[in-house]
């Protein structure tokens, strides 16, 4: 959100957004205040056993991004059942075909 021109595709695996109000939400609010587009493809994944707060925040981030209606933005979140922070890594990469198409 602070340098959107740096990349056009983002792979976000099990990010550290398990606090009450992660920094990413503030950055997104600041970005939204001055932008209506975001040329990016964002693929996020997390293991279902990583904790309710982390998953809820990832879902919240997806909802916020999709709700803004940014032109050019594609967002996809996958929650892999029965997977932990460590075991989810190979599962997360199974969604890359969708990410690159």
Would you state the pLDDT for residue 31?
95
Residue 1 lies in a domain: no
- Using DSSP, how many helices (H) and how many strands (E) does the chain show? 4, 3
Q: Domain limits at 72?
A: 9-100
Q: What is the mean pLDDT of residues 56-63?
A: 93
Q: What is the mean pLDDT of residues 40-68?
A: 93
d(CA 29, CA 6): 19
Cα 64 to Cα 37, 69, 71: the distances in Å are 14, 9, 14
Would you state the pLDDT for residue 86?
93
Q: How many domains does the chain have?
A: 1
Q: Which one has a higher pLDDT value, 3 or 71?
A: 71
Residue 3 lies in a domain: no
d(CA 79, CA 94): 12
Q: What is the mean pLDDT of residues 38-44?
A: 93
What integer best gives the mean pLDDT of the chain?
Answer: 90
Residue 22 lies in a domain: yes
Residue 58 lies in a domain: yes
Above 80 in pLDDT, residue 51? yes
- What would the two tokens of residue 80 be? 């892999």
């Amino acid at each position: 959100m602070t340098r959107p021109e740096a990349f056009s595709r983002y792979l976000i695996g099990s990010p550290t957004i398990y606090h009450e109000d992660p920094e990413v939400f503030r950055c997104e609010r600041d970005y939204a205040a001055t932008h209506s587009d975001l040329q990016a493809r964002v693929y996020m994944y997390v293991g279902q056993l990583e904790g309710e707060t982390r998953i809820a925040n990832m879902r919240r981030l997806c909802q916020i991004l999709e709700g803004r209606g940014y032109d050019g933005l594609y967002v996809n979140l996958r929650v892999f059942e029965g997977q932990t922070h460590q075991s989810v890594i190979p599962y997360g990469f199974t969604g890359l075909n969708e990410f690159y198409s």
